[in-house]
Amino acid sequence: MGLKLSTQTKKLPSISVSYNKSFSQFSGLTSSTLTNDIFTFNLDIDFLKHFNLKTDYELNFNENSLNQKTNYRIGNAYLSYQKKNNPFRFELSAQNYLNNGTIINNSFSDFLISNNTTFTLPRIVMLSISYKL
């Protein structure tokens, strides 16, 4: 179950905010419950004629029936510059700017109980220059 609010106009910045909550419950030899809360934020804005700023952010909370809690935050940002009808584009990007080291996801179904840990790349800041033919 979730909620998403966003703007849909060309003159204003594109902003999106969402919240999603999920529940899982398993009963067998043991019983387990899992709740997951996800908050996301996205922004896309054009300014000063030739600049564009995009950013996305996700905050995730997991909690199981043993009161074990995990959470992670991931954020990315992109600033680009390109003149109209110019083949050159310059972009400064920052990926995982919060320098999160791991993403932990818990899930289960009738057949499988899993706990996945994904190790993420460290913070990366990159300048890109592209040329469109």
pLDDT at 18: 96
pLDDT at 110: 65
Rounded to whole angstroms, how far apart are CA atoms 19 and 43?
A: 15
Pseudo-torsion of CA 126, 53, 49, 85, nearest 10°? 50
pLDDT at 68: 80
Rounded to whole angstroms, how far apart are CA atoms 25 and 68?
A: 15
Query: Among residues 59, 61, 16, which one has the least CA distance to residue 39?
Result: 59
Residue spans of the chain under pLDDT 50: none
Rounded to whole angstroms, how far apart are CA atoms 20 and 67?
A: 20
Q: What is the pLDDT of residues 1-21, one digit of tens each?
A: 889 999 887 778 899 999 999
Q: What is the pLDDT of residues 73-84, one digit of tens each?
A: 999 999 999 999
